[in-house]
Copies of this chain bind each other. A is one copy, B any other.
């Protein structure tokens, strides 16, 4: 089974972090390809960053579809699940977002969880996803450690420390059974945080790998009946001309 993990930002170091974390949990028969778009933001910390990154996500799915190495599942490895429904339209394979994956998993091991994300300003993205997916009641609180995303790469020790502190506050104050880590860049920190905090820590990249394996194992892919069917082929102009007449 070949899973293509798309890091929606363009920071290669983060792609590697994500890829390694994915490989660590992948089943024996699972092969992970971690990739990132050629174009886009180096990190995703706003609605704008997220909107732009969705193009790269779509392109990476199309690249997967057109490549010689068939892809059995795609993962979108940014906690806002950018471009998730668009990506699903482009393939028969399942596409899993790391935020949705983490939420699904968290509800199966606890009755209530909190989210600990990077910046306060992106908390709203998690809140919107919780509402859209139906998990608002399961989440007690969305918290931020106020760490810029790239500090997870460049300033890793301090970032880890702040994350642990915020998780400990969540454990003490939020009346929860689990914590969801709210950024793909935290994929390699799960074990450290889990040990320091003493609560189940759900991380989205790893969760998405296992849910992708699950869907493939069930022989289930994105429904092509209804609103996730392939997009109607049509002209695109300008720098997006290459999207013209898809599926033809």
Contact = CB atoms under 8 A, between A and B. Distances in A.
A85 B111 contact: yes
Contacts of A214: 105, 207, 210-211, 213-214
A56 B210 CA distance: 30
A45 B178 CA distance: 21
Interface residues of A, number: 95
A53 to B, nearest CB: 9
Contact of A88 (B47, B52, B55, B136): B47
B132 A135 contact: no
A227 B121 contact: yes
B134 A132 contact: no
Interface stretch (A64-72, A158-166, A236-244): A236-244
Interface in A167-198: 171, 175-178, 198
Given A28-B29, A236-B40, A228 B177 contact: yes
Contact of A220 (B109, B148, B241, B246): B109
Interface string A8-31: 001000000000000001011100
Interface of A: 10, 25, 27-29, 37-43, 45-52, 54-55, 58, 83, 85-86, 88-90, 94, 96, 100, 104-105, 107-112, 120-125, 128, 131-138, 148, 171, 175-178, 198-200, 202, 206-207, 210-211, 213-215, 217-218, 220-223, 225-229, 231-232, 234-241, 243, 246
26 contacts: A10-B236, A27-B27, A27-B213, A37-B238, A38-B237, A39-B239, A42-B236, A46-B89, A47-B227, A48-B246, A49-B231, A104-B104, A104-B108, A108-B215, A110-B226, A112-B124, A124-B226, A125-B227, A131-B132, A134-B137, A175-B226, A176-B225, A176-B226, A199-B225, A200-B225, A214-B214
